[in-house]
Amino acid sequence: MNIAIRYFTKSKKGNTEKLASFISNKINVEALDTNNDLNEEVDLLFLVNAMYAADIDKNVKEFLERNKNKIKLLVNVNSAASGASTLKSVKKVCDKLGIKVSEDEYHTVASWIFINKGRPNEDDFNRLESFVRKVAGN
C-alpha cells in the first residue's frame, strides 16, 4: 500500500506537526507539510490538520485541489484547542474535488495558551497509534 502523510499548521506549539511525526515514526513514511505535493498516486493519505477560524486553512484546500487526482483515500487526523473536528470541512472540500474520505478519523484536543495544557498527551498518542494500526494495517 502506498501511503503518504501531509500536515498543515500555523501553531508555534506544533501539536499538528507532533501528530504527523508520530504517524511517520509508526509507519516509516516521511511526514511533509502541505507545501509538498504528492509525487505519485497514493492509496492512503493521512491529512493532519487543525481548525482555524471554524474552517480548515486555505493552504489545505489548495493542497487538495493540486493533488486531487493522486489521492485514492484520505484519512483525516486533526487536533484543535476548541475541540472541534475538521472532518466536515475536509469532507466538504473533498466531495467537490472527487476525493474519497474515510469516515474514520482521529481527533484530539490540543493545548493552546492556557487551554488543554499538556495535550496531546500519552493517552492521545496511544489512541493515535491504535488508529494508525487500524487504518494502515500496521
pTM summary value: 0.91
138 occurs within a structural domain:
no
Span 25-53, average pLDDT: 94
3-state SS assignment for residue 38: coil
Q: Is the pLDDT of residue 4 over 90?
A: yes
What's the pLDDT tens digit per position in 18-35?
999 999 999 999 999 999
Q: Is the pLDDT of residue 11 over 80?
A: no
Residue 8 is part of a domain; what is its CATH number?
3.40.50.360
User: What pLDDT, on the 0 to 100 scale, is given for residue 102?
Assistant: 96
16 occurs within a structural domain:
yes
Q: Is the pLDDT of residue 1 over 90?
A: no
Q: Which of 10, 106, 13 is nearest to 55 (CA)?
A: 10
Instruction: Give the burial class of 38: count Cβ atoms within 10 A of its Cβ; 0-12 exposed, 13-18 middle, 19 or more buried.
Output: middle
Q: How many CB atoms lie within 10 A of CB 22?
A: 19
What is the grid cell recorded at 33? Answer: 507539510
Q: Is the pLDDT of residue 5 over 90?
A: yes
Q: Is the pLDDT of residue 112 over 90?
A: no
Q: Which of 12-21, 30-39, 84-93, 125-134 has the lowest mean pLDDT?
A: 12-21
Domain count, the chain: 1
Band of the pLDDT at 137, cuts 50, 70, 90?
Answer: confident
Pair type for strands 31-33 and 44-50: unpaired
- Give the C-alpha separation, 88 to 81, whole Å: 17
22 occurs within a structural domain:
yes
Torsion of CA 13, 31, 58, 49, to 10 degrees: -60
Q: Which domain holds residue 104?
A: 3-132
What's the pLDDT tens digit per position in 58-111?
999 999 999 999 999 999 998 876 667 889 999 999 999 999 999 999 988 666
Span 8-25, average pLDDT: 86
137 occurs within a structural domain:
no
